[in-house]
Chain A
Amino acid sequence: MTEQSTRQVLQGNEAIVEGALAAGCRFFAGYPITPASEIAELMSLRLPAVGGTFIQMEDEIASMGAVIGASLAGVKSLTATSGPGFSLMQENLGYACVTEVPCVIVSVMRGGPSTGLPTSPAQGDVMQARWGTHGDHPIIVLSVSSVSDCFDITVQAFNFSEKYRVPVIILSDEIVAHTREAVTLPSVQKIEVFERIRPSVPPEWYIPYEDNSRGVPAMAVMGDGYRHHVTGLIHDTKGFPTDRSEEVNAFQRRQFRKITNGFYEILMTKSFMMEDAEIAVIAYGSVSRSAQHAIIAAREKGVKAGLLHLITLFPFPKKDVDPVLRQCRSVLVPEMNMGQISREVKRVNLTSKVVAINRVDGQFITPTEIYNKLLSM
């Protein structure tokens, strides 16, 4: 870990590794895949040096299993993959949801479906991140748009994961992952790092899934002497399978309540030139950068445009999108898919016109495309 801040040129993927280490991540299990491989590569160098563990697994199913196991043993854990590997992780991701095991999964989006376009950017896995694993479940999905974001958001992802006992997904894309930028990373001492709350009662009093005001039960480390049964079946407060409707209902509702309780901090967005905007662009990931460039150009032509940059994609930041839709006569949602977030925006919509730019040809959306659209709106 770098003790003092120095200016360096890093790739997005490298900054994710730095962010994870700064947040206290000491376990990585994964399987290499373009455009996420640099995360595993760098983790394999860095983790042993800080007393952590790196394992290259046989596939992504096992990778996710190892991550859950390590986290149950009390170690903050990370895996990183891209579309095809993310598909394989969905089964165990559901297991992490139902067992409330904190962990962070980075999915660097490339062209899909299937093997798709391995070296090309896309944003096609937004809904997969939200709904890829089956069953009704809350999950936190954060997006990154720059190298410094990759560091900051990764720290935030670990913090949310520990605080709410929920898997957190970081959605990156090929452009953010491979862009190198000059950054000065904050020193580790200046970063707030959150640790999961552990039981403070004696082992014989511990009730592993007991509700509390936050809805997040204290989590014992496996092997610490606290009885702790872990199952993928819906379980009662002791951790044993149940199908009693009142217990099932309490369990399911608590899963959602604990995330809803944290909306004030989980829902993150940034506004750019929104104060007097009449047209808004709502964008996320690398495309938000094209949008910002286009907005500056459009302003020079007298078009009052602004940007709402979504960092949190799920839970969907309705509280920030809603006022933008009230303020602006029309909203443009550019994304490198056929409209996965524009559909979410339309779900919030009251009266404004929602226009989309959709690109699925493996190419980045350029500022010119957004600019031309803004001038015609």
Chain B
Amino acid sequence: MKDDRYEIRFGGSGGQGIILAAVILAEAAGVYEGYHVCQTQSYGPEARGGRSKAEVVISRSEIDYPKVIQMDLFLAMTQAALDAYFFDFKPNGLLVVDSTFVKQIPSSRVITIPFTRIARDEIGKEIVANIVALGAVALLSRKFSSENLEKAVLSKVPAQFKDINLQALHAGMKAASEVDLSHLPRSIISDEEKEV
């Protein structure tokens, strides 16, 4: 059986909107792109602060185990989340960090984008950093059309904040589109390449 699970983990701190970003991505995948999708989360009893983790598993076939087994993509919005949840990568999985907060990165295979700084400086509201990050994650996964992402965002945010959230989404997608993936070091080099 061909296992085509694409597994994304979002890590951050309570109140950053990590779970909302995952919920929107699940909506885009399940309702608008027609994938099977499972979105799960784990968090502590705190309303703000503490570590928060959300996961999205996408597949063309039915999903049994609903959580991440091996990550294709991991977004870390804080140092604490990166330290805690940086494991279980698939070969050539992508690590994406918010370089506004994350300073110590355990791998050279990393995409750094200052999501919170973009939200603050370009959009004027730090609170939409999660949507900026969502735009980047969705683009890097290459699983979503920008039209479907917009629909999913609009279905989940209050009417008066629609414009600012769409702006944030596109800022994130733009930042990610400037990343040259071919320059990222590979996590595994095949034996043939080593011999050359």
Contact = CB atoms under 8 A, between A and B. Distances in A.
B27 A178 contact: no
Contacts of B17: none
Contacts of B29: 182
A181 B66 contact: yes
Size category of the A interface is 20 to 34
Interface string A171-199: 00001001111100000000000000000
Interface stretch (B34-42, B133-141, B166-174): B34-42
Interface string B29-52: 111001111111111110000000
B64 A9 contact: no
Given A293-B64, A293-B65, A181 B43 contact: no
A306 B42 CA distance: 30
Contacts of A8: 30-31
B113 interface: no
B37 A175 contact: no
Interface in A360-375: 364, 366-368
A257 interface: no
B38 A7 contact: no
A9 B45 contact: no
Nearest to A286: B66
Interface in B90-131: none
Most buried by A among B29, B43, B63: B63
Nearest to B28: A9
B44 A182 contact: no
A292 interface: yes
B35 A289 contact: no
B23 interface: yes
Grouping DSSP codes into helix (H, G, I), strand (E, B) and loop, the A interface class, with mixed when no group exceeds half, is mixed
Interface string A343-366: 000000000000000000000101
Contacts, number: 69
B36 A182 contact: yes
B66 A175 contact: yes
A242 interface: no
B44 A119 contact: yes
Most buried by B among A118, A180, A368: A180
B26 interface: yes
A18 to B, nearest CB: 16
B196 interface: no
A364 B35 contact: no
A179 B31 contact: no
A8 B31 CA distance: 6
A119 to B, nearest CB: 6
Most buried by B among A120, A181, A290, A368: A181
Contact of B30 (A175, A182, A289): A182
Given A7-B30, A9-B27, A119-B43, A180 B64 contact: no
A367 B26 CA distance: 22
Given A9-B26, A286-B66, A289-B66, A181 B38 contact: yes
B67 interface: yes
B67 A180 contact: no
B110 to A, nearest CB: 26
Interface in A118-133: 118-120
Contacts of B44: 119
Given A9-B23, A119-B43, A290-B64, 10 more contacts: A7-B34, A178-B40, A178-B41, A179-B40, A180-B26, A180-B38, A181-B30, A181-B37, A182-B37, A364-B67
8 contacts: A9-B39, A118-B45, A119-B45, A175-B66, A180-B26, A181-B63, A293-B69, A368-B69
